[in-house]
């Protein structure tokens, strides 16, 4: 009877060892899925924010400065629309590039570009891999003929 108990204990220990080998792989896969979802969400948010800023840019409209109530310049308005549409990302205004810098004249091409620095959240990347990845999105639109 004691031989059977010994064998049973060994089998229970075997399950523990197998679990110890399997759990790091399972956690790694879970973190990879989460990180892929975060990256996809960030890329889509950046792309949509640039597209919304382009839609606003072609109209020639300007916004009011929320602090003073005075009208903003056209370039400031375009950048503000982009920042407002990407609220979850905290986009620095300095990373938004307009060409021409004033937002363009009627019937002129305007290029809006944003390079956002995506930071990996898992923190388990090896030291030889980068901890950030730039996401660059740009679009070119033609302003309406009359503002």
Domain extents in the chain:
2-142
| Minimum mean pLDDT range among 22-26, 112-116, 121-125, 131-135 | 121-125
| pLDDT for 18 | 87
H or E element in which residue 41 lies: helix 2-57
Alpha-carbon span 92 to 115, nearest angstrom: 10
Tens digits of residue pLDDT in 11-36: 667 888 888 999 999 998 998 899 89
State residue 126's pLDDT score: 62
CA distance 39 to 83: 18
At 121, the pLDDT band (50, 70, 90 cuts) reads confident
pLDDT band at 71 (very low <50, low <70, confident <90, very high): very high
Q: What is the mean pLDDT of residues 113-132?
A: 78
**What DSSP character marks residue 80?**
H
Tokens encoding 96:
């938004």
Q: Return d(Cα 42, Cα 116) in angstroms, integer.
A: 9
**pLDDT at residue 13, rounded to an integer:** 75
Identify which has the larger pLDDT, 18 or 42: 42
Sorted by sequence, the CB contacts under 8 Å of residue 134 that are 6+ apart come out as 115, 116, 117, 118
Q: What is the pLDDT of residue 64?
A: 94
Distance CA 5, CA 26 (A): 31
């Amino acid at each position: 009877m004691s031989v059977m108990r010994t064998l049973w204990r060994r089998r229970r220990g075997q399950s523990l060892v197998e679990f110890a080998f399997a759990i790091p792989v399972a956690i790694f896969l879970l973190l990879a899925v989460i990180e892929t979802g975060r990256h996809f969400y960030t890329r889509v948010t950046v792309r949509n924010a640039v597209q919304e800023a382009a839609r606003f840019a072609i109209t020639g409209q300007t916004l009011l400065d929320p602090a003073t109530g005075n009208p903003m310049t056209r370039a400031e308005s375009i950048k503000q629309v982009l920042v407002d549409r990407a609220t979850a990302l905290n986009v620095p205004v300095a990373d938004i590039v307009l060409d021409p810098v004033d937002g363009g004249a009627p019937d002129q091409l305007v290029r809006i570009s944003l390079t956002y620095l995506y930071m990996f959240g898992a923190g388990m990347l090896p030291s030889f891999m980068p901890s950030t990845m730039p996401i660059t999105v740009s679009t070119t639109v033609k302003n309406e003929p009359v503002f």
